[in-house]
Amino acid sequence: MRSNIQSASNTLLKNRKLKVFLFFLVLTAIIWLLVELSKTYTSEAKFNVKYKNIPENLLLQNKPISIVDIQLKAPGFSLLKYKTLNRDINLSLANLSKNKKGYYILTNNQKAFITKQLSSNVEVIKVQEDTIYIDLGANISKKVPVNVLLDLEFKMGYNLINSYQVKPDSVLIKGPQKYIDSIQEIATEVKAIKEVSENVNTELKLQLPAKQTNVKATVNKVKIISKVDKFTEGKFKIPVAIINQPDNILVKPFPKEIEVYYIAGLANFNKISKENLEIVFDFNQYKNDTLITKLSPIVQHRSEYISTLKIVPEQIEFLIQKKK
């Protein structure tokens, strides 16, 4: 029994000594690490770059390099902070140089500017990317038309009275000249509306070029307005009118009348009369080609309320007689 107690006491003593040893070992390691980290070292760290002070009349055409390696001289504590996480630094474009390749900056000329952005005990020794080329170009603006991508499907018998009103129908875009020069129009989002029987009044977002993030527009959406009405068909008979007849020629048309079929909205149907139509046949068609035997109609004027127009017959025959 006594031997068992003695054995247990020895074990506890050994465990206590082991714990004391481990404590002093860890404490020594911590003190050593603190001493080492307080020493000054030279090492590289990566930084995310942001560009400041871009000249007012110029704009970045493409994104320059976004990460640089910088050689730093600093206590280990500070170096550890910059080496474990990518920190941000600013590079100034206020004093640009230029050669055949374009604009560029010499980063090591900005060591003092960079040092001010770091901790007070950190010194910038060298920026590894000594020369950074900056793709800059003129910042211009121009007005371009809006291309409406609206698909309307009407109920039977319904249609637009007039064409779309787009407000605004053109937009001012601004951005790098290399991109703006290639843009001839700005399209809207694609939208489809089915079973349309009422006036159209909707908004569509503008679709700026996705890859050209530097291109901006003065507005980001447009309004589309148009009147819709139920349509019906009407018809007139009007005499054939031939223009440009020579004084010594008599042109007899066959038939002497044509039928005009038209479609118009109910709201304006009663505003349409024969006086709203002017359809002629030009004798110069024959003068220019004496082999033809028929003349084609020319619509010189028609009512703004007429949606579609059909002329029967589509061509007329004619007989030429010399006047006595």
DSSP state string for 185-211: -EEEPPEEEEEE-S-EEEEEEEE--TT
Percentage of residues of the chain with pLDDT beyond 90: 18
Which of 18-22, 111-115, 166-170, 171-175 bottoms out in mean pLDDT, i.e. has the lowest?
18-22
Average pLDDT over residues 293-300: 89
Q: Which fold has domain 139-226?
A: RNA Polymerase Alpha Subunit; Chain A, domain 2 (2.170.120)
Structure confidence at residue 188 (pLDDT): 92
| Domain coordinates in residue numbering, the chain | 1-35, 39-134, 139-226, 231-322
pLDDT tens column, 158-204: 888 878 899 999 999 988 887 888 889 999 999 998 998 888 899 99
Q: What are the backbone dihedrals phi and psi of residue 4, each rounded to the nearest 5 degrees, phi first?
A: -65, -40
pLDDT at residue 149 is higher than 50: yes
| pLDDT value of position 260 | 92
Residue 73, pLDDT score: 83
Question: Which conformational region is residue 178 in: left (phi greater than 0), alpha (psi within -120 to 50 degrees), or beta?
Answer: alpha
At 141, is the pLDDT very low, low, confident or very high (cuts 50, 70, 90)?
confident
Do the domains at 139-226 and 231-322 have one common CATH topology?
yes
CB atoms within 10 A of CB 1: 5
Cβ atoms of 42 and 73 within 8 Å: the answer is yes
Q: In the chain, pLDDT over 70 holds for what percent of residues?
A: 86
- pLDDT for residue 18 is more than 90: no
pLDDT digits (tens, 9 = 90+) for 43-70: 888 899 999 988 877 878 778 888 888 8
pLDDT confidence tier of residue 230, bands split at 50, 70 and 90: confident
Q: 231-322 adopts what CATH topology?
A: RNA Polymerase Alpha Subunit; Chain A, domain 2 (2.170.120)
Average pLDDT over residues 17-46: 59
- For residue 304, the model assigns a pLDDT of 84
User: Angle at which helices 2-38 and 76-84 pack, to 10 degrees?
Assistant: 90
**Amino acid, single-letter form, for residue 183:** I
pLDDT the model gives residue 1: 52
Architecture of domain 39-134: Beta Complex (2.170)
Average pLDDT, the chain: 83
Instruction: Please tell me whether the overall predicted TM-score, pTM, comes out greater than 0.85 for this model.
Output: no
- How far CA 251 is from CA of 226, 238, 300, in Å, comes to 45, 17, 20
Is the pLDDT assigned to residue 13 strictly greater than 60? no
pLDDT value at position 202?
Answer: 92
Please report which confidence band the pLDDT of residue 144 belongs to, taking 50, 70 and 90 as the band edges: very high
Cα separation of 260 and 308, whole Å?
10
